[in-house]
Each structure stands twice: as structure tokens, then as C-alpha cells.
């Protein structure tokens, strides 16, 4: 029965002439309006979006954003005959028609994320002729179809946490505007994760990801002097590098000069070097009750006196940072940032 | 009057569209200048959908009623009017909010928000960022539990914008500023009521603002004209504060510690801090228990080399001052005690230098009726050292010859 259901949308689309034998459908990708169903784009060979279509490649990041411990499956599509142009370690210039597809999945027991995994949402970023557009898709309960959901969704997920505790997640799929809040760069929308420096490692295929992209013609070249983003999880790296890597991907998309939190003057992207802009001894601007009674963003040597640590540990709106994209605290990240602040020399 | 066309996006979703590759609502909303959001069903989702699918030129109408929200809503389309049925008729209730940092977020230009209320948001009430030519009018933003540190920070919160108009709004209960305009330029805040907030109205790191015809009462501090270091936009200047009633701002300061406004002494009418070209005239100051007007330098350490922490080129003229002053509070209370128990109506800290630099001429002009009291504390510099106290009751006079021109905004046509 499940198989029959799964075939249904494929048949419907096929009947409408949206054939996908040759891979993704550029007409659907470049249409001004989002496709109603994820399957309409033809990114995947199967309705469950487990088998990427031709020219669609799985990839992953050195540092991912924390999203309530969701398992994330990322794919990129670059139209045939086109190539992304490397721009140092930053975001390459992706050609029109590029799509970045990210599926969020959970499992009944997150200690075994593959067992009984179910998809919740798929976020699609498409490079249209006039810039990037972000579209959220929400999966049906059977995992056979994901439907465009401009207003997002909320879903209660009962699972067992990576630490083995029963966990109820009030998961929030962001709406279309919230997609832009995090993906904002000036007036434009931009991808966050796939900066070349954050891709420069062995990807899910078990080979050097960027060399593979270049060999496949997705990327024009791999810059010689590319310095990979320090992995927050790589215990062989210095604490400062790991912490900055974590802040870069989890905070730096808004906390940057042209991001949604620019007005805070707290800038946490990897390139930032000014101690006060990184929060050291910096008084908050608009923290409100997010200050938690603490005086500065980072009090060197004292995570317990640092607003940054307070807001990372909270799940309450008005206090919690990031404001969007998580409903749980990230204990691993909190521990890392607390250690980093504790290790700073106080006065 | 434009025709009202009901663009029911929710209905369109129900229409089978197996062969459509477009979102059905996209088609339904085409050429619809006015969208009435239905009170039936999930109002929060319907409103958010209408705001996402709006086209420039559209008006989104919200019906009368109280509607519950569990997360913030946002608008990112230029030239949209979002209207309710009236300030106390359409109420967006965020008391059950579990997501987002504010109630309503606007990130597009030429937007008008009018005729509705926002209640009990967990963070800020309404925020607009990079939203030029925005109008906030006939809005109420309030926290219904009274003045509490657990209330959101700002009620009405335009930031990093040009041409900001705030008129006929009421804000109550903000744990920072009720009406806060930050890092913006060309600003009018008028005919509004700010009460039971920590700060009633605050213009911060902004330039060219007219604040007039407002009532700022029962806050901890009535009106603040501030400039802070270490922000992308600094150097606030050219603000006129006139025809306001700044009354009984004696609500105990309830700001969470760590916020700059937590340092505002309870019982303060107006504070000008680290700002220049500020003209304060024809206001009524009444029953503010600490001080009616306080001109002060920024008193914390900073490293921002662009920053001037002193208030300078300030003119006070033709204001009336009555009552209050009997119960000085906050960090200035010990100084009032040293002066014999209370301040006169107008106090300047007399700080004229910072970071080891030389004295700067502040050019402060106190052009008030003869019976209005004044003192300069003569502190010279911060950090505050009571030993530096050198009070002078001699009024400074000076001021610039030309005041800033009245602010004219493109969205606010002038009468012929």
C-alpha cells in the first residue's frame, strides 16, 4: 500500500508532462513562482527524495548550523554546461539555475539517526535570474511528498536525544520570510553554508568534496590557498579556532555587517578581528531581558557573566539566540563557548 | 475608495491543482489591491500567508477580534498597508508566543502599519529594520501585566531606516523603551502616548528627529536622546523635542540589569546623552521626582575612536517646569544629597573631557524663565568621583544661531 501511494505523485507529474528522465526540470527551477511540490523540480529520482537525480550531488559542511539535532541531507544542482566560480574561501558565484536542497530528518532514537528516520522539511534555495529565492517544503506523514509551505509549520516530534533522554521537540519549520531573515546579505538573499572554506573536506561520498566538484565541472577551480573553516568538533584544533568556527556558522549569518543583526554591532563571522565587535566587554544594545542581568556580551574568563552564553542556553523567545531555527539548546555548542570564554584572560 | 476584492489564499489551496506547478495562491492573489484576512480558521497562518503573498500596492485588512499567535509574523514586501479595524478592535495576542524575537517584523520599504494592537510579545513588539519611509500609526503595543522586567524590550522599534513616521501610537510596559528609534535618520515621533515603560520615547544613534506633541508619563524616564559607542551608526544629532507633556515619570526602573536604560534614574523627565544639536522647547515638565532635564556624558569606558561622549550644542528654551524633584533616585541620588537633598529642574553633569583629552566647549544654552532652577555638577570627567563635584548654579548661554529645520517626510504630505 505504501508503495502504491508513493507512486501516485510521480504518476500525476508524469501525466502533466514534467518528465524528469534527464534530471532536474530547469523550467520549474527558474519559474518565478515556487513549485507546489518538491517533486516537481525533479531533483530526485524517487518520491522519497533519497536518490538524487542526474547532476544532483550530495554534499556536507565542515560546520553545520545546529537545528535541534536534525539530521541534514544536503544536495546541490548546477545546470549542465554551467559552473560555479570560486571566490577565495567565500561563497562561490553560483550560476543561475543552481539549487541547494536541504532535507531535515529525525529518527525515533537520535542515537541511531538512520533507523526509522523520517523527513520533516526540505528547504530549497534557488539562484533565479534576479537573485536567490528560499522556499520551505513540508513532508507528509508517509514521507512520499513534500508540499510548498510558505507559512512554515510546527510539528511535535517525540524522540530520544543523542544523550539517551526522552525528548519532545516542538519543531518549527521557518516560513518564507524567516528563511530570508537568516539568509540576508544586505538587500540580497544568499546561501550560508556552502562557502568554499566550509566545504573543504571529505564529503559524504568519501572523497575530497571540492576536488570532486571541480572534476565534475560544478566548480571552476579549487583555490590554491584555501584555508578550511576550523571544525568545531575537531578536538585537535585550538579552542579559539573551534569556538570561532562554531560562532561563524551558528551566529555569523545574522551577526555580520550586512546581516539581520547588523544593528547590534556584535559581529561573529570568522573574518571579524575586533575584540569589541566580537563581544568582549561589549555592552548590549537591544538585549532587553536577553541580558539575563549580565553586563557585557563576553566577560573574559567568565561565561557565567557573559550574555552570549546566557542567550545560547535559553529557549525562550526574546532571550534565545539564534532567534530562529532552534527550539532546543545545543549542549555541545554551549560547552564549547563556555570553555572558550572561561579560557580568556580576564582583567 | 478602491474596490475590495477578497483574495482568499486559504480557499485556493483547497482547489485541486494536480497539474499546476505554481503555488495556487500566487494566481489568486494577482491584481488584488486589498486582501481581507479571514477571522475564520488559523488567523496567524492566514495573516502570515497574506503578508508573504502581498504585492506592492496591496492593502492587507485584518478584521476585528483578538487573535492568538505562537510565533512572530513578518512582512518583506514593499509598499504594503497592514491595517486592522482599530487600535482596540484588532488585537494580535502574543501571550502564547514560543518562537521569534518580536511580534511583527517589517523588512521592506514604504510600509504603513495602522489601526491594530499588539499584546504581550516575549521580545520586542513591532520591529522594522532597514525599512525606509515606514509609518506606524494608530497602534497600541502593550504588555498587559504592568511594568515587569520580563516584558519585551521595545514596543515600537524602527532601526537602520530613513524617513520614519510614528504617530498616534500608545505603548505601555516596555522593559526598555516604549517608542525606540535607533540608527536612523529623518524621524518624526508625534501625538503618541508612552507610559509605564522604562523609557517612554528614545531616539538613539539617530539624526534629524522631531519629537513633538507626545505624552510621556509614568515611565522611569520620559524621553531619552542618546548616542552610544560601538554601533555601526554613531554620532546622533539634530533632534528637536517640543510641545510634549513629560509628566510623573516615577515608575521604578524595571529594566533588566545590563541594559543601558537600567541606569536611567527613576523620576527623570528628559535625558540628553552624548548627542549634539538638540533643541528642547515648549514642553511641559511636571512631577518628575528626580530631575526634569538631565544633560549627561556617556559614563562607561569605551574604545570607539569615532565616538564623542559629551552632550553639546544643546538649547533649552520656553519649557514649563512644575512639581517633582522631591525624591531623587538612581545613581545620581547621592549627588542630590550632597547638594542638600534635591536637584533643581535642570542638571548638567559638567563633564567636559574624556580619555585624557582636553576640555571641550559644550555650548549649552539654558534660555528658560528666571525661576527655573539649574545646576552644573562640574564633574569634569567620568568615571564618577564625588570628590570632583564642583556645582555651579550659573546658567550657561550660547547655543547655535540656526536650529535644525522641521523634518519633512515623503510619506507625510504637508498641508497646502
Domain boundaries, chain B: 143-388
Q: CA-CA distance, B236 to B229, in Å (whole number)?
A: 11
* pLDDT, tens digit, 9 for 90 and up, residues B232-282: 999 999 999 999 999 999 999 999 998 999 999 999 999 999 999 999 999
Q: How far is A63 from chain B (nearest CA, A)?
A: 24
Range with the lowest mean pLDDT among A20-34, B9-23, B118-132? B9-23
Q: CA-CA distance, B129 to B107, in Å (whole number)?
A: 5
> With contacts defined as CB-CB under 8 Å, which chain B residues touch A327?
98-99
A109 part of contact set with chain B, CB < 8 Å: no
Q: What percent of chain A has pLDDT over 70?
A: 93
Q: Confirm if B124 and B97 have CB atoms less than 8 A apart.
A: no
User: pTM for the whole thing?
Assistant: 0.89
3-class secondary structure, B173: coil
Cβ pair A327:B98 closer than 8 A: yes
Cβ pair B256:A36 closer than 8 A: no
* Radius of gyration in angstroms for the set of CA atoms belonging to chain A, rounded to a whole number: 21
Give the ipTM: 0.87
* pLDDT, tens digit, 9 for 90 and up, residues B157-211: 999 999 999 999 999 999 999 999 999 999 999 999 999 999 999 999 999 999 9
Q: Summarize chain B as % helix, strand, coil (round to 5).
A: 10, 35, 55
The pLDDT score that the predictor gives to residue B414 is 79
A324 part of contact set with chain B, CB < 8 Å: yes
Cβ pair B98:A170 closer than 8 A: yes
The pLDDT score that the predictor gives to residue A289 is 87
* pLDDT, tens digit, 9 for 90 and up, residues A37-59: 999 999 999 989 999 999 999 99
Q: CA-CA distance, A176 to A138, in Å (whole number)?
A: 12
The pLDDT score that the predictor gives to residue A21 is 52
- CA neighbor of B276 nearest in space, from B299, B245, B247, B297: B297
Q: How far is B257 from chain A (nearest CA, A)?
A: 4
Cβ pair A151:B101 closer than 8 A: no
Residues 233-272, chain A: which have Cβ within 8 Å of B? Answer: 257, 260, 262-265
Contacts of A297 (CB under 8 A, 6+ apart): A266, A279, A280, A282, A283, A284, A306, A307, A308
> With contacts defined as CB-CB under 8 Å, which chain A residues touch B143?
none
A108 part of contact set with chain B, CB < 8 Å: no
Cβ pair A277:B71 closer than 8 A: no
Q: Confirm if B397 and B374 have CB atoms less than 8 A apart.
A: no
Query: Average pLDDT for residues A107-129, to the nearest whole number?
Result: 94
Nearest to A285 among B45, B51, B228 (CB): B228
> With contacts defined as CB-CB under 8 Å, which chain B residues touch A12?
18-19
DSSP string, B252-300: PP-PPTTSGGGGSPTTEEEEEES-EEEEEES-EEE--SSEEEEEE---S
pLDDT band at B416 (very low <50, low <70, confident <90, very high): low
Amino acid at each position: 500500500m505504501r508503495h502504491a501511494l508513493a507512486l501516485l505523485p510521480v504518476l500525476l507529474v508524469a501525466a502533466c508532462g514534467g518528465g524528469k528522465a534527464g534530471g532536474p526540470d530547469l523550467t520549474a527551477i527558474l519559474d518565478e513562482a515556487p513549485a507546489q511540490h518538491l517533486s516537481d523540480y525533479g531533483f530526485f529520482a524517487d518520491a522519497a527524495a533519497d536518490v538524487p537525480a542526474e547532476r544532483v550531488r550530495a554534499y556536507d559542511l565542515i560546520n553545520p548550523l545546529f537545528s535541534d539535532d536534525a539530521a541534514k541531507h544536503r544536495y546541490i544542482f548546477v545546470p549542465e554546461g554551467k559552473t560555479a566560480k570560486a571566490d577565495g574561501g567565500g561563497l562561490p558565484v553560483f550560476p543561475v539555475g543552481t539549487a541547494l536542497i536541504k532535507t531535515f530528518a529525525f529518527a525515533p532514537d537520535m542515537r541511531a539517526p538512520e533507523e526509522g528516520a523520517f523527513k520533516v522539511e526540505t528547504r530549497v534555495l534557488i539562484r533565479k535570474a534576479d537573485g536567490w529565492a528560499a522556499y520551505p517544503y513540508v513532508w507528509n506523514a508517509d514521507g512520499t511528498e513534500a508540499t510548498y509551505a510558505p507559512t512554515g509549520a510546527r510539528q511535535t516530534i517525540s524522540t530520544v536525544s543523542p544523550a539517551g533522554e526522552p525528548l519532545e521537540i516542538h519543531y518549527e519549520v521557518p516560513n518564507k520570510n524567516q528563511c530570508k531573515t537568516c539568509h540576508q546579505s544586505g538587500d540580497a538573499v544568499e546561501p550560508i553554508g556552502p562557502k568554499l572554506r566550509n566545504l573543504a573536506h571529505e564529503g559524504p561520498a568519501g572523497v575530497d568534496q571540492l576536488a570532486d566538484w571541480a572534476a565534475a565541472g560544478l566548480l571552476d577551480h579549487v583555490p590554491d590557498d584555501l584555508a578550511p573553516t576550523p571544525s568545531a568538533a575537531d578536538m585537535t584544533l585550538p579552542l579559539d579556532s573551534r569556538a570561532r568556527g562554531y560562532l561563524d556558522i551558528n551566529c555569523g549569518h545574522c551577526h555580520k555587517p550586512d546581516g539581520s543583526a547588523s544593528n547590534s554591532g556584535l559581529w561573529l563571522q570568522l573574518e571579524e578581528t575586533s575584540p569589541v565587535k566580537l563581544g568582549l566587554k561589549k555592552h548590549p544594545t537591544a538585549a532587553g531581558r536577553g541580558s539575563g542581568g549580565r553586563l557585557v556580551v563576553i566577560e573574559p574568563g567568565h561565561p557565567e557573566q557573559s550574555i552570549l552564553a546566557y542567550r545560547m542556553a535559553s529557549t525562550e523567545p526574546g532571550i534565545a539566540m539564534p532567534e530562529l531555527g532552534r527550539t532546543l539548546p545545543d549542549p555541545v555548542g554551549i560547552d564549547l563557548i563556555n570553555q572558550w570564554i572561561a579560557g580568556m584572560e580576564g582583567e | 475608495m478602491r474596490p475590495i476584492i477578497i483574495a482568499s489564499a486559504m480557499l485556493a489551496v483547497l482547489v485541486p491543482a494536480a497539474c499546476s506547478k505554481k503555488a495556487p495562491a500566487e494566481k489568486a492573489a494577482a491584481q488584488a489591491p486589498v486582501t481581507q484576512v479571514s477571522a475564520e480558521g488559523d488567523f496567524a497562518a492566514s495573516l502570515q500567508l497574506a503578508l508573504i503573498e502581498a504585492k506592492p500596492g496591496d492593502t492587507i485588512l485584518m478584521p476585528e477580534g483578538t487573535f492568538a499567535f505562537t510565533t512572530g509574523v513578518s512582512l518583506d514586501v514593499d509598499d504594503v498597508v497592514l491595517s486592522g479595524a482599530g487600535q482596540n478592535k484588532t488585537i494580535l495576542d502574543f501571550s502564547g508566543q514560543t518562537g521569534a524575537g518580536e511580534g511583527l517584523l517589517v523588512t521592506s520599504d514604504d510600509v504603513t502599519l495602522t489601526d491594530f494592537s499588539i499584546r504581550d510579545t516575549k521580545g520586542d513588539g513591532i520591529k522594522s529594520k532597514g525599512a525606509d519611509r515606514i509609518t506606524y500609526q494608530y497602534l497600541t503595543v502593550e504588555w498587559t501585566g504592568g511594568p515587569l522586567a520580563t516584558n519585551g524590550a521595545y514596543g515600537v522599534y524602527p532601526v537602520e531606516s530613513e524617513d520614519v513616521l510614528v504617530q498616534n501610537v500608545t505603548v505601555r510596559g516596555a522593559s526598555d523603551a516604549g517608542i525606540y528609534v535607533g540608527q536612523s535618520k529623518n524621524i518624526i515621533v508625534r501625538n503618541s502616548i508612552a507610559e509605564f515603560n522604562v523609557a517612554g520615547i528614545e531616539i538613539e544613534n539617530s539624526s534629524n528627529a522631531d519629537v513633538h506633541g507626545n505624552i510621556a508619563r509614568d515611565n522611569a524616564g520620559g524621553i531619552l536622546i542618546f548616542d552610544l559607542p560601538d554601533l555601526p551608526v554613531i554620532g546622533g544629532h539634530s533632534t528637536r523635542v517640543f510641545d510634549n507633556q513629560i509628566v510623573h515619570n516615577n515608575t521604578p526602573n524595571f529594566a533588566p540589569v545590563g541594559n543601558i536604560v537600567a541606569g536611567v534614574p527613576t523620576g527623570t523627565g528628559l535625558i540628553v546623552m552624548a548627542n549634539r544639536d538638540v533643541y528642547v522647547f515648549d514642553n511641559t515638565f511636571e512631577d518628575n521626582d528626580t530631575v526634569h532635564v538631565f544633560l549627561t556624558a556617556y559614563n562607561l569606558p569605551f574604545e570607539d575612536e569615532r565616538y564623542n561622549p559629551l552632550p553639546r550644542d544643546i538649547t533649552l528654551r520656553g519649557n514649563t517646569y512644575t512639581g517633582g524633584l522631591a525624591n531623587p533616585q538612581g545613581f545620581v541620588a547621592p549627588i542630590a544629597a550632597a547638594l542638600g537633598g534635591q536637584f533643581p529642574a535642570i542638571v548638567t553633569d559638567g563633564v567636559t573631557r574624556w580619555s585624557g583629552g582636553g576640555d571641550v566647549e559644550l555650548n549649552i544654552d539654558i534660555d528658560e524663565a528666571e525661576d527655573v532652577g539649574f545646576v552644573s555638577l562640574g564633574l569634569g570627567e567620568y568615571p564618577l568621583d564625588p570628590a570632583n563635584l564642583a556645582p555651579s548654579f550659573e546658567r550657561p548661554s550660547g547655543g547655535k544661531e540656526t536650529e535644525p529645520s522641521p523634518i519633512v517626510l515623503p510619506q507625510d504630505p504637508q498641508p497646502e
